Amino acid sequence: MLVTGAGAVLLFAYLTAPFLVVFVTLLYLAVRRGRATPRDLEGSKRLVLAAEVVWLIAIGVVWTVINVVSIAWIPWLQPYASSPPQSEPSQVVRVEAFMWGYTLETYELKQGTVKFVARSIDTIHSMTIYSPRGEIVATVMLMPGMTEEIVVELKERGEYVIRCLEFCGDGHPAMVSKFRVV
Amino acid sequence: MRLEDLTRYPRLMVLTSLAWFLAGGTAGLLMVLAHLTGFLRMNEYPVLLSFHGTAMTFGGLFQLMMGLSLLRVGFCYGKPLRGLLVRASYFLLNIGMALIAVAVLAFGVRTSYTLMFPLPAVGVVKGLWSMEGLAIFVWGVILVLLVIVGLYPATLARLIFTGKTEEALVLERFMGTLNPSGMAGMLPYVFIMPPLGSAITVGAVAIGLALLGAVPLGSIGWVLSPMNFNYPFWIFAHNLMEAMGIMAIATVYWLIPRYTASEEQRARSLYSERLGLLAIVFYSTAAIMAFPHHLFTMPTSQPHGLSYTGQIASWLTGFGAAFSVFNVLATAYVFGLRLTPASLAAMLGFGVYVADGFLAMQLGTIGWAYRLHGTYAVTAHLMTILLAVALVWIGALYHSFRLLFGRPENARLAYLHVLLTAVAAIGLLYTMAFMGAEGAPRRAYPLPVGAEGAVPLLVLGALLAAGQLAFLLQLRSPRGKVEESVGSAILDDRS
């Protein structure tokens, strides 16, 4: 779940909502203390020092956990991160992107691991693969003159959609293609 | 020495930025309305998209930052804001923006605000717009680049490092380079933007000259290669956003101690100036190498090592921000905060900036970028960071309101302005982030996915517009006369 776009945004919401509540509460307290006498403000320094230590440790932990855990989500590492390591995918599909569409070598694929070899023939496009449930499986930016290869695991059967997510002119939102996984 | 020497150009920049904000904001509202009603054709939407992005970012926010940061340096260092550099910064930025607006609105050069190179050239080949339109567009970009990369940092450097302080113009004693850290936060822009923006500026000038026939197209082949163009572009564009963010953080470092209530705060410094400086240095150095996250999704062309460096550097900028969160909140809490429109705007802008930072770091994580890049989640991040920075500068604007306009602000209207802007910014952040989670493609019209997000976007956009309307009402009353004799009391009497 965490590796999907929806999971990422939910995590974002779970982290930022409490942050904003704490931020606004502290802002309110700071304004209240702004009306207090200087004597009332004494004694808060020890508390702030403790907060400093806790805060710095917390961000260190979050930093380490996410940067270590997320390594397994990197598409170009996934074939090697799985146990046992996957062999070279048997299905290879060449994709050509143009203003405003895609040409795929084949429009029917087997369930499993697929290597997409994609390029653009005119301007910057992307090849973003949406699963039958509408989740983004992976996105690849295609710069003219360069060829990108990406290995993805197509777990579900059904119709997958390819869309361009890099602005490429008037027909950008209509740049769509589909393929079926059986 | 006249006080007008300090305020003329900043006031012009603030008012001109307001005009760009209004024009760009209107385009933004029309875009959202089009998502709901479908009244635009597919080739009309990108015109508004390109105009909205350029007007808000460069004509609006960059110009607002330029005016208020120069004003701050001017009245803290006691140096007048006049001369060729200041004039050229103001006029070239606005002439450049006018050329871009003409190219977009009259010639239909619709590339979005990030260029998407080689789209500008491909558009001519495909007959989407004309070569004349492209030449106007490119020369507009060149003028704006010259200001961003050269004239503005040079003006800041001249004010900070050279010239004699005129005591009559020192309205707040806040001098120094590394201490106070609120001033140190201006240095990353001065020292980082010129070298990191030079390559793209040279490339743009080369293209501009080739379009005029002054140099043969073959001689600039290197810059026309999309890969070659996009690296200097992102090194520049990414670091521009970071430098603007660091400027905003430095503005918070400057403003918040000015509104603390404690007697202890005579020195008007942060809870920890050392932590403040550490945050600025940490943030600036980490940000330089964070740019590869814009190109994470090129798994073959971008070296994996560069991508991973980009991820780690992106997360390290979060450390800089985390130091700042602690320092700013500790300053406000320990010493107590006086509530004014200026302090509220600076604090809320800072809060929005940090909240957006969580999303920024997710987008800077390779594994997540492959699921979110190109969606509305990225728009959420970009729009929010710009709104957060704008809110901080709105704080600086209210802090200097009397100096700029010769009379105090109407507090009720000012609070309305600040609160509506902050609520809209947070609402837009969450709405667009969730649209991104659904896979809604950014810069697309009509929206094939996530179209239901258009209703909240319109409501929040209207709130944002209402906030800016409150500021416009603020300007209805005639400008007062800033008495030169009481000039030095104008800002100090608030503290």
**Residue in A closest to B375 by C-alpha:** A165
The domain ranges of chain A are 5-78, 86-181
pLDDT at B382 (0 to 100): 95
Q: Do A41 and B371 touch (CB under 8 A)?
A: no
DSSP code of A150? E
**In chain A, what are the helix, strand and coil shares in percent, each to the nearest 5?**
40, 30, 30
Q: Which residue has the tokens 């900028």?
A: B317
**Rounded to whole angstroms, how far apart are CA atoms B431 and B440?**
11
- Pick from A6, A76, A170: CB nearest B42: A170
Q: How far is B239 from chain A (nearest CA, A)?
A: 21
CA separation (Å) from B122 to B116, B136, B222, B444, B451? 10, 16, 17, 19, 29
pLDDT at B493 (0 to 100): 45
- Smallest CA-to-CA distance from B232 within B206, B208, B196 is with B196
Our CA dihedral for A26, B351, B62, B404, rounded to 10 degrees, sits at: -20
What is the tally of helices (H) and strands (E) in chain B?
20, 0
- Report the side by side order of strands in the sheet with A101-104: A101-104, A91-98, A112-120, A147-154
User: pLDDT tens, position by position, for chain B (495 residues)?
Assistant: 588 889 999 999 999 999 999 999 999 999 999 999 999 999 999 999 999 999 999 999 999 999 999 999 999 999 999 999 999 999 999 999 999 999 999 999 999 888 788 999 999 999 999 999 999 999 999 999 999 999 999 999 999 999 888 888 888 877 777 778 888 899 999 999 999 999 999 999 999 999 999 988 888 888 888 988 999 999 999 999 999 999 999 999 999 999 988 666 555 789 899 999 999 999 999 999 999 999 999 999 999 999 999 999 999 998 888 999 999 999 999 889 999 999 999 999 999 999 999 999 999 999 999 999 999 999 999 999 999 999 999 999 999 999 999 989 999 999 999 999 999 999 999 999 999 999 999 999 999 888 889 999 999 999 999 999 999 999 987 776 665 544 544 555 444
Beta strands A158-163 and A176-181 are antiparallel
Q: Do B375 and A26 touch (CB under 8 A)?
A: no
B330-368 burial, b for 16+ CB within 10 Å, e for fewer? bbbbbbbbbbbbbbbbbbbbbbbbbbbbbbbbbbbbbbb
Task: Tell me the pLDDT band of A85, cut-offs 50, 70 and 90.
Answer: low
Interface test with A, best of B372, B382, B432, B443 (most A CBs within 10 A): B372
pLDDT at B244 (0 to 100): 96
- Beta strand spans in A48-143 (E): 91-98, 101-104, 108-109, 112-120, 125-130, 136-142
- Pick from B227, B263, B338: CB nearest A145: B227
Q: Do A59 and B319 touch (CB under 8 A)?
A: yes
Q: How far is B74 from chain A (nearest CA, A)?
A: 29
Question: Quick check: B38 contacting A, CB < 8 Å?
Answer: no
Give a three-class secondary structure readout of B452-470.
HHHHHHHHHHHHHHHHHHH
Q: Regarding the domain delimited by A86-181, which CATH topology (the fold level of the hierarchy) does it fall under?
A: Immunoglobulin-like (2.60.40)
Q: How far is B88 from chain A (nearest CA, A)?
A: 33
Question: Quick check: B263 contacting A, CB < 8 Å?
Answer: yes
pLDDT at B494 (0 to 100): 45
What is the mean pLDDT of the segment spanning A9-17? Answer: 89
Our CA dihedral for B296, B299, B300, B304, rounded to 10 degrees, sits at: 70
Interface test with B, best of A53, A123, A125, A127 (most B CBs within 10 A): A123
Q: Which residues on chain A are in Cβ contact (under 8 Å) with B302?
A: none
**Rounded to whole angstroms, how far apart are CA atoms B313 and B291?**
9
pLDDT, tens only, A106-165: 999 999 999 999 999 999 999 999 999 999 999 999 999 999 999 998 989 999 999 999
Question: Quick check: B264 contacting A, CB < 8 Å?
Answer: yes
CA separation (Å) from B269 to A145, B247, B317, B438? 53, 17, 23, 45
Answer yes or no: are the C-beta atoms of B362 and B372 closer than 8 Å: yes
More confident residue, A41 or B175: B175
pLDDT at B264 (0 to 100): 60
> Where is A163: in which H helix or E strand?
strand A158-163
CA separation (Å) from A122 to A59, A163, B116, B121, B316? 44, 16, 12, 10, 36
Answer yes or no: are the C-beta atoms of B103 and B55 closer than 8 Å: no
Q: Do B448 and A163 touch (CB under 8 A)?
A: yes
- What value, to the nearest 5°, has the Cα angle with vertex A90 and ends A89 and A91? 95
User: Given a cut of 80, is residue A87 above it in pLDDT?
Assistant: no
**Rounded to whole angstroms, how far apart are CA atoms B425 and A43?**
36
